[in-house]
Amino acid sequence: MHETRRVEIQDVPQGRSTRLVWRQRRFECENCGERHTEDHPEIEGKLTRRFARSLIRDSKHLTIRELSRRHGLSWHFIMGLVRAWSHRVGEQRCSRRCRVLLVDETSLRRRHRYVTVLLNGETGEILGMVPHRDAAALSGFLLGRGHRWCRNIQVVVSDGSPAYRAAIERHLGHVTHVLDRFHVVRWFAAGLVEVRRRIQRREPAGQVTPAFDPEVFRARFLTLRRADRLDDAEQLRLEALFATHAELGRAWAMLQELHGLYLAENLAEAETALERFADLYTNDPLPEFYKIVDTLLTHAPGIFAFHKTHRISNGRLEGTNNKLGVLKRMAYGFVNPENFAARGLLYCPGQP
C-alpha cells in the first residue's frame, strides 16, 4: 500500500446532511511501479449509489433547482447525473424488441421548439425524444438503432406529417403505417367547422365587425358530437337547428358517416361507411369538404390500416404527452432539448 486518503462521501440525508468518511487506499505495484486507487461498488464520485438513486427518484417530482437547494449540490452536477442515468435507461429500453412504434411531436415550451417523441406501443415506455420534428430527426433515431432493431417493428402509428411519412417509407418500408385516428377525426371535423362558420356569419365576409347567428354559434360544440353520444334533449336541439340550416345538417350527416370509418367493427363495414359518405357528397357536395375528399384519397391506406392492426392508435402517446406537459409546467418550460429528453424518459416509465 502506497498511501491512504481521507475522502468525504455524501450519503442520503438522515434529517440533515450526512457525510461518510472513506479512507481510500492507493497501491503501488512492486513489479512495474504503477499506482492504483481503490474503488468501491457503492460509491460514484463523491456520492453513494443509494444517494444517487434517491436524487433520480426525487427528480421525477421536483425541479433540479430545488434538489440543488435542498442538498447543497450544483445544478449542473445533478443534471449531469440525471442525463447519465436517463441514457442508461434509454439504452436498456431500446435493447428490447419493439413491434409497435408510436410517433408524435411535442414542444419544449408552448409553440416553441419541438421534439419528436417515440414510444413503445406495447409497454408505453418512451424510447427516445429527438430534437426537431422533421424527417431527419426520425431518420437519425432509426439509423442509430440499427437495421436489426428496425426489422422487428411491425406497425408504426403517426399523424399525417409528410416528414414522418417520408422517413418511415425510407427506413421502415416493410411495416404497416397507420394514421392516428385522433388526427384524422380532427381533419374530418374541420369541414363541418368551416360550414358552420360560413352559415353563422350574417354579414358578408371581410367586414370589420361581422355579426354571428347566436343559435348557430352556441351549438358549435354540440355539432361536433357523435350521434351515438347525444341524449334526447341534444338530439331535439340539433333537429331544430338543422330545420332552419339545411346545409349544416348535411355537413353533420357527412361527418357522422366519416366517424363510421372508425366505429366500424371491421374493414368491410368501414368501406360501407365510406360509400355512404360518397353518396351524400356526390348528391350535394359542399365546398368545405373538398379538402377532406383529397385527404381521403391521399391517406386512404393509412386510414384503413386501422382495421388491419387491431385498432391501434396513438392514444397511449397522447397520454404520455399530457404527462410531459405536467413536467414542462413543473419546470417552467425547457430550453435545452437534451435536458427535456433526459427528464422525460425518467418521468414516463411506461406500463404494460
Residue 188 has pLDDT above 90, yes or no: yes
Q: Which residue did the predictor score with more confidence, 38 or 195?
A: 195
Q: What are the residue ranges spanned by the domains of the chain?
A: 3-89, 91-180+313-347, 181-307
Residues 339/340/343/347 CA torsion (nearest 10 deg)? 180
- Residue-level pLDDT at 52: 86
Note the pLDDT tens digit of each residue in 245-288.
999 999 999 999 999 999 999 999 999 999 999 999 998 889 99
Write down the pLDDT at residue 29: 78
Percent of the chain with pLDDT over 70: 95
pLDDT of res. 341: 92
In this predicted structure, the answer to whether residue 41 has a pLDDT above a threshold of 80 is no
Q: Is 74 a residue whose pLDDT tops 70?
A: yes
Query: Nearest CA to 223 among 245, 198, 199, 249?
Result: 249
Q: Give the single-character DSSP code of 311.
A: S
- Predicted TM-score (pTM) of the model is 0.85
Alpha-helical runs (H) found in the chain: 49-58, 64-71, 75-94, 135-145, 147-151, 162-171, 181-200, 214-218, 232-244, 246-263, 267-283, 290-304, 315-330, 337-347
Q: How confident is the model at residue 178 (pLDDT cuts 50, 70, 90)?
A: very high
For residue 79, CA distances in Å to 59, 75, 241 come to: 9, 6, 57
What is the per-residue pLDDT for 8? 79
CATH topology for 91-180+313-347 is Nucleotidyltransferase; domain 5 (3.30.420)
Query: What pLDDT is recorded for position 208?
Result: 53
Mean pLDDT score of the chain: 88
**pLDDT higher than threshold 60 for residue 1:** no
Q: What is the pLDDT of residues 149-164, one digit of tens each?
A: 999 999 999 998 999 9
